[in-house]
Amino acid sequence: MTAAPFVVIKDVAKRWNGQLGVEGISLDIPEGSFTALLGPSGCGKSTTLRLLAGLEHPDEGAIFIDGKDVTTSAASDRNLSMVFQSYALFPHLSVAENVVFGLKVRRVPKAERQQKLHRALEITGLLGYENRKLGELSGGQRQRVALARAIVAGQRLCLMDEPLSNLDAKLRNSVRKDIKKLQRDLGITVVYVTHDQTEAMSMADTVVLMKDGHIQQVGPPQDLYNKPNNTFVAEFVGAPPMALIEAAGLNGYEIGQTLGIRAENIEIVAKGKGRMTCTVSESEFLGSETLIGLEHDRATGLSVLKPGMAMMPEGQIVDIDFHNDSLHVFDGAGHRMTAQG
């Protein structure tokens, strides 16, 4: 018998003055999992997190945490912790005081506070920083303080809202690994909001991709990459994104269909030997490979990856080829039909 999900969001909708926030959101989140809410700005991911946190209440639907209906419960009654983009720390307090602030408010005994503080600082690599003020810390260290505060709260559910947005690329990569390790080591359930697909794909067990207040696809990262539900998912997930080609003119496909293909499945072939003739629009050297952008009047996002340094002049005419089993077929409405033609 399968255990009931730890978090259940059922047919939830939220609107402001008739304007859509989210509509028909349903999610089952297992305990101990890492779920990323991914999508462009305004897609509803932060609204979904705020509804789960109790910072907003839904107009329709229900929310359950650990079997308890919390749809109308206050945030303080939901037994969860949160980590924000802005850190939400007190600048006049030391690292230790920030971390244990919530425990002091709840009148946790001092000995227990100190024990939890030591463990949280050890896990986040902040031992020795106890007496420092926030002004003496880097952005990455401040975010670790916020993580330590979430750890000492001891809750089984942790919500994270764009926690790495204020960090530079190198720090984001470092703290990303910290968060994933924390989640694994502590066995907590994390729901993580991000607009960065690299964060979502590298950290999450399950990715929830949203657009315009609706869920587009839910699944493991590899499913969103290899089996996109629709053309929005195909173009949003992946760097470079999946190229989309009008099927008209390609043997075996119907007018109105759209074909998707990844850059790694396209190759440049000898003149007259390919299925399409394209124009080189740009070349971008990425270190281990070169990304060559291509233009065609019936395609968007066409590109090909070549190993090493393989720059090609802009305007060069090239033929490309690909196998049918690498194609993704979408119908006239942009919905997935099949993995191959």
Q: How far apart (Å, rounded) are the C-alpha atoms in residues 4 and 218? A: 18
Q: What is the pLDDT of residues 297-314, one digit of tens each?
A: 999 999 999 999 999 999
Q: Which of 102, 219, 204, 215 is nearest to 151 (CA)?
A: 102
Q: How far apart (Å, rounded) are the C-alpha atoms in residues 297 and 332? A: 18
Q: How far apart (Å, rounded) are the C-alpha atoms in residues 318 and 270? A: 8
- The DSSP 8-state label assigned to residue 165 in this structure reads T
The pLDDT value recorded for residue 216 is 98
Q: How far apart (Å, rounded) are the C-alpha atoms in residues 253 and 238? A: 25
> Cis omega (within 30 of 0) on the bond before 240?
yes
Kindly list the domain boundaries of the chain, sorted by start residue. 7-231, 241-338
The pLDDT value recorded for residue 340 is 45
Is the fold of 7-231 the same as that of 241-338? no
> Across the beta sheet with 299-300, what order do the strands follow?
299-300, 243-246, 258-261, 328-330, 336-338
Instruction: Tell me the backbone φ, ψ of residue 330, rounded to 5 degrees.
Output: -120, 145
Question: Is 7-231 assigned to CATH 3.40.1410.10?
Answer: no
Cα-based distances in Å from 93 to 99, 100, 133, 144: 10, 11, 6, 15
The pLDDT value recorded for residue 2 is 56
- Residue ranges in the chain modelled with pLDDT below 50: 1, 339-341
Residue 313 makes CB contacts below 8 A (sequence gap 6+) with 280
Instruction: Tell me the backbone φ, ψ of residue 117, rounded to 5 degrees.
Output: -60, -50
Homologous superfamily in CATH for domain 241-338: Nucleic acid-binding proteins (2.40.50.140)
The pLDDT value recorded for residue 338 is 61
The whole-chain average pLDDT of the chain stands at 92
